[in-house]
């Protein structure tokens, strides 16, 4: 192509009003324009480019600008420089035959799904077949911004700023060997005192939360196709993580004593992993009885299977002390214990912990680092001070008072309006109530949709079952709703439920 012909073509493209790169430096704009011209087939494979000197003259650009663009294209394989001969459009590109204007327009308008639909893997389809994770997350049942009035934001900023001012460069690296050791020490002390967990600091691994903890455990302790027992109804995040690991989920019914395997399950079950929420079953709120805990631990020891204990909100028990952990009763080191700071601080902190049996520590340290490249050491250092200076315990006490007031007001309004037409499950602790409908055929999903139409977010209990739901109801989160806003919204919700329940 003659120098002035190419220059005319490039000048037209460079100065197009709709050029998406018009704000970029000249060398970058020229690079993008030449690249686009090659990809569009307007410069075909084998075409010789003018010298950079001639091209710079014809484009009225500096030679350095032209050389920068040409050199970048050559480095990326679009151009080939042949010593003593010149620079050519690379012949290693796909078919560069120019398209007609009509064909080019059709190609630009075509969508990948038109001719060659792309599909997810079977695992991806299984994980995403429902209407989305947001449909399972328990959020405020009333609208408005999430309230963090109890959280000491200024104090938290001050603790973080201290470490940024000192700028310990070791805290800018990846987190190795399980996380920031002072934080692991603080968590071990906290869990030993408040949850009766048998733990040393070395057993505590810092993760990005329960979801990562469960994913790590499933990847390291199970193989594709292994069976995992899950509570039914079940925490949606656990279901997703275990399905992503390729496990076959066996739903185990839940009663007022927690997970309730049948006689056949006890005798013939061969799970590799058992997922439980013994201190506050999610979402029904039941507490696993001591008898059931001992039976589950005995079964795990006999079958050499692992128990994953998700202790997601045990700090918020409103009468008496929080129940001791299942892990604290474990004599055979079959339990992995998981907790999170997302409930007691704020959801986006994304810091949790996993207590691992001692003999598994080398493998879990390696797996945590190799799979996830953990970091956030600055945040972990600030959290250490937050715990050791007593701020975490102070915050938990304040939150218990605030959440209990909201729970009491919500439960009182529901009982006054609906009476014995519903049962309230799990109100002794936690951040949500579970309303159980005494009428079996009520469409809880329809009620949830009607509530959404009036600006409220509630979750239908039936969605949390694997297979046919055994109970209909609603899950109501109250953690982020100011107490004074509970009555009017509870009244609206109760009216919707009354209209839906049979007389």
Annotate 67-110 with DSSP letters as a single string: HHHHHHHHHTTSEEEETTTEEEE-TTSS--PPPPHHHHHHHHH-
Cα–Cα distance between 183 and 13 in angstroms, integer? 57
CA distance 331 to 328: 8
CA 97/CA 105 separation, integer angstroms: 15
pLDDT at 347 over 90: no
CA 18 to centroid of chain Cα atoms: 38
Rounded Cα distance, 422 and 112, in Å: 50
Packing angle of the helix pair 444-453, 486-500 (nearest 10 deg): 140
**DSSP element (H, E) containing 255:** strand 248-255
Q: How far apart are the C-alpha atoms of 339 and 353, rounded to whole Å?
A: 5
What's this model's pTM, rounded to 2 decimal places? 0.80
- For 397-449, the pLDDT digits (tens) are 999 999 999 999 999 999 999 998 999 998 888 888 999 998 888 999 999 99
Q: Give the residue extent of every domain in the chain.
A: 3-89, 148-393, 401-500
Read out DSSP for 345-373? T-GGG--EEEE--GGGHHHHHHHHHHHH-
Q: How far apart are the first and last CA of the chain?
A: 85
CB 67 within 8 A of CB 51: no
Q: How far apart are CA 7 and CA 5, in angstroms?
A: 5
pLDDT at residue 99 above 70? no
Q: Supply the pLDDT for residue 84.
A: 77
Please state, for a pLDDT cut of 70, what percent of the chain lies above it. Answer: 87
Average pLDDT for residues 322-349, to the nearest whole number?
92
The dihedral built from the CA positions of residue 270, 274, 279 and 283, taken in this order, carries a sign that is: negative
Fold exhibited by the domain 3-89 = Arc Repressor Mutant, subunit A (1.10.10)
Please tell me if the domain spanning 3-89 has the same topology as the one spanning 401-500: no
The predicted pLDDT at position 217 comes to: 97
pLDDT band for position 145 (cuts 50, 70, 90):
very low
In CATH, 401-500 is 1.10.3720.10: no
CATH topology for 148-393 is 3.40.640
């Amino acid at each position: 192509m003659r120098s002035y012909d190419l220059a005319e073509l490039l000048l037209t493209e460079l100065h197009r009003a709709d050029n998406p790169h018009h704000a970029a430096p000249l060398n970058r704009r020229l690079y993008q324009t030449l690249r686009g011209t090659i990809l569009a087939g307007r410069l075909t494979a084998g075409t010789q480019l003018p010298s950079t000197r001639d091209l710079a003259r014809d484009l009225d650009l500096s030679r350095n600008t032209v050389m920068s663009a040409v050199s970048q294209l050559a480095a990326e394989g679009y151009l080939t420089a042949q010593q003593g001969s010149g620079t050519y459009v690379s012949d290693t590109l796909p078919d560069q035959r120019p398209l007609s204007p009509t064909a080019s327009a059709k190609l630009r308008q075509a969508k990948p799904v038109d001719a060659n639909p792309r599909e997810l893997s079977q695992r991806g389809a299984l994980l995403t077949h429902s209407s989305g994770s947001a449909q399972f997350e328990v959020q405020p049942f009333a609208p408005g911004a999430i309230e963090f009035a109890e959280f000491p934001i200024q104090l938290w900023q001050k603790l973080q700023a201290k470490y940024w001012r000192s700028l310990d460069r070791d805290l800018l690296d990846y987190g190795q060997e399980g996380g920031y050791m002072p934080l692991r020490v603080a968590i071990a002390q906290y869990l030993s005192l408040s949850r009766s967990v048998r733990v040393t600091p070395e057993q505590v691994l810092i993760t990005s939360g329960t979801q990562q903890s469960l994913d790590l455990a499933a990847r390291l302790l199970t193989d594709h196709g292994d069976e995992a027992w899950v509570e039914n109804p079940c925490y949606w995040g656990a279901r997703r993580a275990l399905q992503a690991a390729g496990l076959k989920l066996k739903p185990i019914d839940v009663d007022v004593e927690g997970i309730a395997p049948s006689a056949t399950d006890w005798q013939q079950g061969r799970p590799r992993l058992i997922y439980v929420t013994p201190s506050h079953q999610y979402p029904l709120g039941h507490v696993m009885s001591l008898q059931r805990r001992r039976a589950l631990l005995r079964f795990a020891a006999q079958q050499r299977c692992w128990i994953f204990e998700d202790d997601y909100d045990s700090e918020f028990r409103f009468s008496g002390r929080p129940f001791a952990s299942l892990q604290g009763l474990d004599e055979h080191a079959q339990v992995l214990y998981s907790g999170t700071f997302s409930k007691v601080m704020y959801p986006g902190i994304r810091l949790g912990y996993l207590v691992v049996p001692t003999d598994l520590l080398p493998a879990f340290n390696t797996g945590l680092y190799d799979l996830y490249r953990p970091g956030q050491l600055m945040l972990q250092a600030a959290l250490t001070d937050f715990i050791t200076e007593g701020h975490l315990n102070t915050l938990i006490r304040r939150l218990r008072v605030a959440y209990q007031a909201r729970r009491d007001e919500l439960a009182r309004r529901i009982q006054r309006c609906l009476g014995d037409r519903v049962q309230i499950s799990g109100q002794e602790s936690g951040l949500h109530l579970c309303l159980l409908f005494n009428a079996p055929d009520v469409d809880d999903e329809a009620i949830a949709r009607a509530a959404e139409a009036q600006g409220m977010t509630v979750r239908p209990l039936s969605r949390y079952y694997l297979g046919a739901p055994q109970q209909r109801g609603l899950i109501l989160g109250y953690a982020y709703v100011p107490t004074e806003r509970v009555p009017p919204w509870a009244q609206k919700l109760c009216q919707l439920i009354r209209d839906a329940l049979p007389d």
